[in-house]
Structure 1
Amino acid sequence: MKPIQIAPKSPRQIEKARTAYQAGQYRVVLREAENAERILGKRADASYWQMAAWLALQDTRKAGEILHDGLQHFPDDIELMSLGGFVLLRNGEHEEARQLLQRCVGADPGSLSAWVHYAALLLELREPAAAREAASKALAINPNEATAACNYALALKETGEMAEAMPALRKAVKLAPGNIAIRANLLFAMLFAEDTTAPELLREAKTYETLLLAGPRLPREAGAPRRTSGPIRLGLFSNDLMRHACAYFILPLMAHLDRSRVEVVALSLNPLSDHVTDKIRLHANEFIELAGKTTADVVETIRNAQLDVVMDLGGHTGNSPLPYMVHGLAPVQMTWLGYPGSTGLKSIHYRISDATCDPEGFEPHYSETLLRAPTVFCTYAPLVHSPLNAYGPKYRVQETPALRTGAITFGSCNNLGKVTDQTVALWHAVLARCPGSRLLIEARDLDNEAVSGPLLARLARAGIDPVRVACIPRLATNQYLTYHDIDIMLDTVPLTGGTTTCDALWMGVPVITLAGAAFHSRMSASFLHALGLDGLICRDAQEYVEMAAQLAADAGQLNALRLSLRQRFEQGPLADGAAFARWMEDQLAKAVGPHRPVDSMPGSHDGVYFSGTWHTMAEIVIAVAGLLEARRHIELRALLENFSAKWPRHWMVPYVLAEIEHRNGQHEAAVDYLMESIGLRTYHLPLFRLLNARLDEYQYDKSMLGEFLQQQLGVTLAFLEQQGAPTVLEVLGIEVGQEAEAEREHA
């Protein structure tokens, strides 16, 4: 969102700066503002226009430098504080932005720009109730301020109040028809509106493209260098290379791509980073930071990287790659994941999809050519904050909660923006059909009355008794665990679950979805189809309600389905990152082939790329053995986490964790991890030999182990006891001749 500009009264040089700004001549703005300071001395309005110009040039870091210098001289200047809050927001300095903007509106409650920028910040921080209040303050000052109207609409969208949100957003577009940011927000909000169709999305996306093309063009220089040999250079371009929904799908692809065929260059627009960013850095051949650069600098930087393919991962969301990609950054440009609809840009050649999300006949919905994956348009890996914890008991599928509570609990763990009136009507019908059932809703800030109160009021107006509803705040420490309290997930409409649907299915919770007539209303259907659960994909509201009632009617059958889902998920195409990566490599080769020669011979797939090196599985196993024998447990955990992006559920990990717990004297945990390892590699006899030895050492009962061995493997306990406890090398399958290499590894 662009900042709101103030026009303070000022001398001739400042008036020239303002006139130049309105004409889009931002370099002239800088020159005139600097002239004003040279002639008249340090001035707040000169700092203001310099900051505004650098913002317009997309150099937010330079704007930040001007801000900090200006506030040192003029700490109470309202215009500096107001625009400065927006600069801090763009630079990811959220707490500093909050403090500055709160001080600004406190000093001048009539500052339109301060309330607009404060609302934008609160939206970024996902505080919709406060954002709505701030936007209302701005509209009270000027009802026809387009950005204020847009912010107000987005705050309504975040709480699912689309009937009021869409008119406000349409008003914002009418007030500022040339505002690209408002147009992008409209495209995103349309996904939540009940009456949106795919052709309407495409028409609006093409209007967005027209606005982009109306700006200055940045053509590639004649004779600029292009790559002519070597692996395909793939740029993953995003503002969300961090803990974001896309990461659950990006990391598995990066970890499985054959680096002899495809090199991965991560292109980040975000000034912020986190532990997921660190993982992406680790698995990328290169990581290029673009935050704070001008549009021209971003375009030049990416072109100089000589990429064969640039893949948009943002679409019409947030700080989008599209305004840069319209200039043509690589011979081939694609879009994937970020936005469930067309970009509308002719410069984006391909879109990754599948036959469930985009059945035959959906081609007219897109300006791009569809590349349909064989089964599903992405693969998923759980993104537990500490990946090794995923092997612990609290993340395992548990029995359906109805067996202990005596009542069915339906659930939703989606963003509240998806809880539209249409969704609420479906939920009311389900609860009415299933007397005694409850509804659990998990979302951000539901422990805040300003958020939960309006939600419960909406549900009550639809006929859902708030007594039957549990509001659970989404907390990082509770990730995935809420699913233990949900029997059946009720999907949202028209915008279905994405990551949350995969989360639920991985945790064993079946999801009932209503498939619509556009990609954004068919994502959950694609995931369910990939797992062979087509019966949970409904064609209309009646089927949705009947399926919910059918599942709820038999807790025993529901439990059997639940306990089978984790294995079905992990052995199916939705978790088959290797197969999806091979398909993606082939598609990239076909797309790049017309532009330059491509070596199509696949290399080794038995390892993973991280820290700038390809590590084969044999090397990883030898390193694990060496570190385990040397008791270097911190390094060992780090190594296991590094390859978890490719193998999120590998038997070797719980085995190693069992050994660490054994050495720490944690016998119960050691046995638990060993059992988990055996579950992932059932017929590996050394694991059974080790478990037998540990049970003897801990003086635990072995009768169940004996029964299992006899029934499943035809082996007796006596046979295991004759074999004795295995060595680390035996369990890991390392040949005797490799022992010296293992010793060198941990020397």
Structure 2
Amino acid sequence: MKRPQHAPTLPPPIARAQTLYEAGKFRESLAQADKAEKLLGRQAEIRYWQAAAYLGLHDTIRAGEVIDQALREFPEHTRLMALGGAIAMRNGDHARARAWLERCIELAPGQIHGWINYGALLAELREYAGARDAAQKALALDPHEPVAYANYASALKETGEMDAAIVALRRAVQLSPRDAAIRANLLFVMLFDQATTAQDLLREAKAFGRQLAPLLRPQPARPQRPGAPIRLGLLSNDLLRHACAYFILPLLANLDRSRVEVVALSLNPVSDHVTDKIRLNANRFVPLAGMSREQLIDTVRAEQLDVLMDLGGHTGNSPLQHMAHGLAPVQMTWLGYPGSTGMEAIRYRISDWTCDPAGFESHYTETLLRAPQVSYVYAPLVQDPLSVYAPKYRVRETPALRNGFVTFGSCNNLGKITARTLALWAAVLARCPGSRLLLELREIDQESVRAPLLARLAQAGIDPQRVTCVPRASANQYLTYHDIDIVLDTAPLTGGTTTCDALWMGVPVVTLAGNAYHARISATFLKALGLDGLICADKDAYVDAAATLAGDVDGLNALRLGIRQRFEQSPVADGAGFARWLETELAALVDPRGLRGPAPAAQHDGMFFAGAWHGMGEIVVAIAGLLEAGRFGETRSLLENLSAKWSKHWLVPYVLAEMEYRGGNKEAAIDLLMESVGLRAYHVPLYRLLSARMDECGYDKTVLADFLQQQFGMSLDYLGQQAVPTVFDVLGIEVVPAQPSATTTEHAPA
């Protein structure tokens, strides 16, 4: 997004507003613009600098109000349109931004700011070919415009042309070395460059950190709170359907609220169903979008946080620009960016011993807090959380058994398909004749995206005829992995969320582990699953590992069918374990001398949502009551809350089975009961219910009979002599006989 441009020759009162704006004195600029309005009346240029000043103060809501009014008064003023498009985009109103910017470039095709902001908008809308063209038009108007180079670089990155993107972005930095947004973009794009070392990232991060470091405003004194939970703030632009949410939600759902209270602080004006889940699982949810910098600082400080955690790093609308002001006594970074912030204001970084082995401390300005096994915990995030129990998400046999050839694949972003990645893939395909490569990518159905990729594949020695390109679509989330035998990881920037997606779906991932955090993310997940043999130190090992898997399809199939169980029993899926570790670390940082007293009683057997703690006994009784009353919509909502903490829990498929059965779908009910039995072994009422339902449908029960005999020494005939259990029997709820005055129930441990 381009900053406001110079205006034509202006009357002195307006010119002073412009001068103050360009000096970064936004509040003074606004006051001067207001004064000019009193002297000169309403003019387009005065409105322009009023809106620009509000934007400089990060008060995008007020900036939007001013620009809306201005364009009603001066509807053909193209500079107002260009600025309005930028403001509307910041406020998440893409339709209005597009309308204003397209009108701007139609009326004034020679105005560079319209093209720059239009390109930024198209990039945000993932229309990368249009974004690239808009940036090129801006550069044709001014070949020394740094923001146009930065936009051009972003569009190139998203279409996989990483080498050209880095050249363009370095040119932007050369032209405007003090532009913080451009420097942040460079820090992100450097992750994709195979020549980048951890020290390169650190050096650039430190330079960026120095630019962000202002004179810190004094913090108000915090009251002592003996025995009170730690107040943890999560500051992010990504508290919505975003790759980070797969790791944020399981942590939130498992934090013990008697030890840690969570305040979710959202910088994004956009929200969705994932935002709603985060809001339910936080103690407080505070929207910050549209606030001025001073308002934001005051709002966050008013939360009286003990710890503030950055979840964005050098990406997008970064929390770091605000945390530079010191918003909490302890500030740390986690999750969003795989490298150092370079900032003195950020004291700690959460990591683990695989991503950051001994000796990597020199890569950071922060002190590393290393989790013993993994620094992320993952839960699958499908549109309907309860559908994870559906047959379409179950692991299937490796597709080579039906295809007669092995399919390698990748579902990462196009920007990660670097020259090094293509060289690795080409070597694997050359080693495995007859194999194919499947790529699931955004916008790959657009010729402007597909053609350059296929050309790069051919240049790397990969025959495009061996490549299948699949457009990414939310309806196909996870399902593409049913058509991939082996995932080939990217380098130097590895998969993260996508690696977990693949492993959860049973697909092995071969990765090249490098010498910096961003080159080792997949390695931490593979090691946690005991798949160390797929973590490779060099190209030869990478090719050997992939070829070995491909050369034994039966062995590959056996591995595939066991990976999900490994995953669900591994630290990667242990939200409770990671939460307990983090609680202990936070306590040591906030209260190193134990002055707050002993930790409160633990709250583990239950869930926190909608502002309150709900014990498991209460939840089970509520589910039983809703189920018996036929209130299935409310039952599903409660099960979704349960799934936020436990991505797989026997209670969920059991209750879903009951709802399917009562709806007349007996086959689906049996399928879900089998899933429930698999998640809760040795629960005899479930076996008895399954046996009865199978009898109703005339199913062969030989496998069930063998299992009962092996596991319990129990015959199917003996099981059949037991009464068919009720919902209360299965849930362990003891129904107390009715008394003259009342009827009550008690819950036995579920």
> Does residue 1:713 correspond to 2:738, yes or no?
no
> Does residue 1:680 correspond to 2:683, yes or no?
no
> Does residue 1:108 correspond to 2:138, yes or no?
no
Q: 2:633 aligns to what?
A: 634
CA–CA distance in 2 between the matches of 1:436 and 1:468?
8
Shift in Å, 1:9:
3.0
Instruction: Name the SS for the 2:338 alignment partner.
Output: coil
Shift in Å, 1:226:
6.2
Instruction: Name the SS for the 1:723 alignment partner.
Output: coil
Q: 2:137 aligns to what?
A: 137
Instruction: Name the SS for the 1:42 alignment partner.
Output: coil
Output aligned runs, 1:159-558, within 5 Å. 159-213=159-213, 215=214, 217-221=215-219, 223=221, 225=223, 229-558=227-556
Shift in Å, 1:263:
0.2
CA–CA distance in 2 between the matches of 1:436 and 1:7?
63
Q: Given the superposition, is the C-alpha separation of residues 540 and 459 from structure 1 closer, same or farther in structure 2, using an over 3 Å criterion?
A: same
CA–CA distance in 1 between the matches of 2:219 and 2:746?
54
Output aligned runs, 1:648-659, within 5 Å. 648-659=647-658
Shift in Å, 1:163:
1.4
Deviations 1:434-490 (A, max 9, x none): 111111111111111111111111111111111111111111111110100000000
Q: Given the superposition, is the C-alpha separation of residues 405 and 223 from structure 1 closer, same or farther in structure 2, using an over 3 Å criterion?
A: closer
Q: 2:702 aligns to what?
A: 703
Output aligned runs, 1:62-81, within 5 Å. 62-81=62-81
Deviations 1:322-349 (A, max 9, x none): 1111111111111000000000011111
Instruction: Name the SS for the 1:334 alignment partner.
Output: strand
CA–CA distance in 2 between the matches of 1:94 and 1:600?
48
Shift in Å, 1:167:
1.4
Q: 2:153 aligns to what?
A: 153
> Does residue 1:17 correspond to 2:13, yes or no?
no
Deviations 1:80-127 (A, max 9, x none): 100110001100111221222112112211110011111111222222
Q: Given the superposition, is the C-alpha separation of residues 610 and 582 from structure 1 closer, same or farther in structure 2, using an over 3 Å criterion?
A: same
CA–CA distance in 1 between the matches of 2:399 and 2:427?
22
CA–CA distance in 2 between the matches of 1:449 and 1:713?
60
Contact 1:459 1:465 in 2 (8 A): yes
CA–CA distance in 2 between the matches of 1:250 and 1:307?
19
Deviations 1:593-625 (A, max 9, x none): 148833434512111100011011111111111
CA–CA distance in 2 between the matches of 1:198 and 1:2?
31
Letter matched to residue 722 of structure 1: Q
Contact 1:227 1:306 in 2 (8 A): no
Instruction: Name the SS for the 1:330 alignment partner.
Output: coil
CA–CA distance in 2 between the matches of 1:654 and 1:457?
47
Instruction: Name the SS for the 2:645 alignment partner.
Output: coil
Q: 1:620 aligns to what?
A: 619
- Identical-pair percentage: 63
Q: 1:587 aligns to what?
A: 585
Letter matched to residue 365 of structure 1: H
Contact 2:2 2:113 in 1 (8 A): no
Contact 1:667 1:698 in 2 (8 A): yes
Contact 2:246 2:381 in 1 (8 A): yes
Letter matched to residue 246 of structure 2: Y
Shift in Å, 1:655:
0.6
Q: Given the superposition, is the C-alpha separation of residues 559 and 221 from structure 1 closer, same or farther in structure 2, using an over 3 Å criterion?
A: closer
Letter matched to residue 270 of structure 1: N
CA–CA distance in 2 between the matches of 1:387 and 1:40?
59
Q: Given the superposition, is the C-alpha separation of residues 117 and 700 from structure 1 closer, same or farther in structure 2, using an over 3 Å criterion?
A: same
Deviations 1:657-696 (A, max 9, x none): 1111111111111111111111111221111100111122
Q: Given the superposition, is the C-alpha separation of residues 646 and 221 from structure 1 closer, same or farther in structure 2, using an over 3 Å criterion?
A: closer
CA–CA distance in 2 between the matches of 1:417 and 1:163?
10
Contact 1:2 1:181 in 2 (8 A): no
Instruction: Name the SS for the 1:645 alignment partner.
Output: helix
CA–CA distance in 1 between the matches of 2:274 and 2:45?
41
Contact 1:161 1:421 in 2 (8 A): no
Instruction: Name the SS for the 1:46 alignment partner.
Output: helix
CA–CA distance in 2 between the matches of 1:6 and 1:129?
29
Instruction: Name the SS for the 1:735 alignment partner.
Output: strand
Shift in Å, 1:32:
2.5
Structure 2 gap ranges (5+): none
Output aligned runs, 1:115-134, within 5 Å. 115-134=115-134
Between 1:35-44 and 1:519-528, the stretch displaced more is: 35-44
Shift in Å, 1:707:
3.0
Shift in Å, 1:282:
0.1
Shift in Å, 1:26:
1.5
Shift in Å, 1:743:
9.8
Instruction: Name the SS for the 1:17 alignment partner.
Output: helix
CA–CA distance in 2 between the matches of 1:286 and 1:431?
51
Shift in Å, 1:38:
2.5
Q: Given the superposition, is the C-alpha separation of residues 460 and 742 from structure 1 closer, same or farther in structure 2, using an over 3 Å criterion?
A: farther
Q: Given the superposition, is the C-alpha separation of residues 531 and 224 from structure 1 closer, same or farther in structure 2, using an over 3 Å criterion?
A: closer
Letter matched to residue 386 of structure 2: L
Between 1:130-139 and 1:395-404, the stretch displaced more is: 130-139
CA–CA distance in 2 between the matches of 1:179 and 1:229?
45
What TM-score comes out, normalization by structure 1 length? 0.97
Deviations 1:495-530 (A, max 9, x none): 000000000000000000000000000000000000
Contact 2:735 2:744 in 1 (8 A): no
> Does residue 1:32 correspond to 2:38, yes or no?
no
Q: 1:94 aligns to what?
A: 94
Between 1:297-306 and 1:696-705, the stretch displaced more is: 696-705
Shift in Å, 1:205:
0.6
CA–CA distance in 2 between the matches of 1:280 and 1:386?
15
Instruction: Name the SS for the 1:280 alignment partner.
Output: helix
Letter matched to residue 167 of structure 1: V
Contact 2:227 2:600 in 1 (8 A): no
Q: Given the superposition, is the C-alpha separation of residues 686 and 300 from structure 1 closer, same or farther in structure 2, using an over 3 Å criterion?
A: same
Shift in Å, 1:229:
4.8
Structure 1 gap ranges (5+): none
CA–CA distance in 1 between the matches of 2:447 and 2:593?
57
Contact 2:734 2:745 in 1 (8 A): no
| Paired positions, count | 742
Deviations 1:167-209 (A, max 9, x none): 1111101111110000000001110111101111111111011
Shift in Å, 1:162:
1.9
Letter matched to residue 639 of structure 2: L
Deviations 1:420-447 (A, max 9, x none): 1110111111111111111111111111
CA–CA distance in 1 between the matches of 2:694 and 2:219?
71
Q: Give the root-mean-square deviation of aligned CA atoms.
A: 1.6
> Does residue 1:573 correspond to 2:563, yes or no?
no
Between 1:372-381 and 1:27-36, the stretch displaced more is: 27-36
Shift in Å, 1:158:
1.5
Letter matched to residue 332 of structure 2: M
Contact 2:734 2:746 in 1 (8 A): no
Q: Given the superposition, is the C-alpha separation of residues 272 and 187 from structure 1 closer, same or farther in structure 2, using an over 3 Å criterion?
A: same
CA–CA distance in 1 between the matches of 2:662 and 2:47?
62
Q: Given the superposition, is the C-alpha separation of residues 203 and 741 from structure 1 closer, same or farther in structure 2, using an over 3 Å criterion?
A: farther
Contact 2:513 2:535 in 1 (8 A): yes
Contact 1:658 1:674 in 2 (8 A): yes
Letter matched to residue 237 of structure 1: L
Q: 2:58 aligns to what?
A: 58
What TM-score comes out, normalization by structure 2 length? 0.97
CA–CA distance in 2 between the matches of 1:13 and 1:224?
44
